[in-house]
Structure 1
């Protein structure tokens, strides 16, 4: 089966190399060059949890190589999704599945409008990976991966699950992928901006539980509107469990600030603020965090 990775960051590179290890055909869609030669190879070195390494070379394709695009796995930064997919509108074969697998929310609506006939899916993963340079990926932890359909055509793509399960460990189909996206969104909306502002690893939240609890309490009315029944205390425990499990890790938002990159704050906290405004709910603590991250972003990005 052919897989195409759009976004060779940490998670995209992890998925690519693990799929290749089980014998799948994998290529990378290079958005930087519209006419990337099909024969160009991108070397990758994957460092596994047991310390062993796996070296491989992945062919790069460009936007003109439409016949070479398989199951399109979109693992770019969320703010890159729409610009990266725009050149494929009206050109990508309608049989090609598109799988969104990124932090944050807010891109699915655009995807449904512009690729209405393609099988469309969303996914969430808690697999851990760190990209130390353009060719070196370190697998930092196993996790769960879930896929679910965004449209009726996407329902026909359950056959993809066993391949990802073989490559990654746990992968399963979810009939409620939107709910899983929201759960991850809440966790990201607490851990990511706090660690970015504090300039500390995820484990720092374990020493500042009052701030975590206050953010979860403030979000609770919005989560009730979304149909969740958990108490603020339950949400707080879930956030702290993730922080404990990933205590030594640095969040992606922290890393973006540290390396002078644009963050995903507009699609994480920004998305929550938009949804809250629609419901007439005020989130002052989250808005304050949002503004702090935007201030850091404006002073450290290369843009």
Structure 2
């Protein structure tokens, strides 16, 4: 089995290094040749939040290339981990996937927000597409090192295209993937309710990401002041109202789970905070904007989430 990771950001480095540590054949595709050369030269170093010593994966355990070199594979089972942000899941990348991904390959999608699974299924109707939801906290330190800021878990599930494959083939491929990542230190489980998990993750991201980006704080700092918790609750309650109107099952226990994510990833800087700090475009259009679009479809308004979207996009350069 080969695991090919597209995207050299925080999650891309963490998942690629962990799969290689677990004994899988791993290729990491990066945006720049500088990053690929750095990884080929020195490997990827992973610093753990709860351990004193970092660990490193080097060539030949991991191979790094630029995404321009992404191509068809041989007859091996291939999992393609999409670790790019939604804003980078553009027409150019979709065209490259259409040209080089085979029906026997499998896509494992780590994007935040909503809408990407439908785009990928439309572009690659014969390819099994798996949605993944992770609570792993990761912060990219540089081109060849990542800080594993909070240990979490990852659920992934089959979409309609993946269910067309034989159940035996599915189970075998999923077990091989879980074994590889599990041996490397990442917990993966198969979920039969991945759509519900995606909406839970959307809610968590829609609360944590814009607020940490606007206040310029780490995740755990959201719980340090009553004013921050009150604002979090207001965003949470509006999303819960929208989910109810849209017919999405959303238990109230998600509030306690949201607080738990803040504690578990206390030292993590959200991806939106990282983007704002660098002056990059954020994923607000697919997170806060995704909530606003759900509200529109349900005949509701989302004034708090719309305001957060406006504030974040007002920061985008």
User: Quick one: distance in 2 between partners of 1:144 and 1:131?
Assistant: 18
SS in 2 for 1:280: coil
8 Å contact from structure 1 (residues 103, 268) kept in 2: yes
User: Quick one: distance in 2 between partners of 1:163 and 1:66?
Assistant: 22
User: Quick one: distance in 2 between partners of 1:96 and 1:198?
Assistant: 42
Structure 1 unaligned residues grouped into runs of 5+: 299-303
Q: Which residue of 2 aligns with 1:215?
A: 235
8 Å contact from structure 1 (residues 205, 240) kept in 2: no
1:288 to 302, 307, 317: 307
**Larger RCO, structures 1/2 (Cα 8 Å, 6+ apart):** 2
Two-structure CA RMSD over aligned residues (Å): 2.3
Q: Which residue of 2 aligns with 1:100?
A: 109
SS in 2 for 1:116: coil
Q: Which residue of 2 aligns with 1:258?
A: 277
8 Å contact from structure 2 (residues 139, 268) kept in 1: no
Q: Which residue of 2 aligns with 1:272?
A: 291
1:67-216 matched pairs, under 5 angstroms: 67=73, 70-83=78-91, 84-150=93-159, 151=161, 152-153=163-164, 156=170, 157-159=173-175, 160-206=177-223, 207=225, 208-216=228-236
Per-residue deviation at 1:119? 1.5
8 Å contact from structure 2 (residues 139, 148) kept in 1: yes
Q: Which range is displaced more, 155-164 or 209-218?
A: 155-164
Normalised by the length of structure 1, the TM-score is 0.88
Pair 1:117–1:288, CA change in 2 (3 A): same
SS in 1 for 2:156: strand
Aligned length: 292
Per-residue deviation at 1:262? 1.4
Pair 1:181–1:168, CA change in 2 (3 A): farther
Structure 2 unaligned residues grouped into runs of 5+: none
Matched, 1:13 2:29: no
Per-residue deviation at 1:94? 1.5
User: Quick one: distance in 2 between partners of 1:256 and 1:229?
Assistant: 29
Normalised by the length of structure 2, the TM-score is 0.85
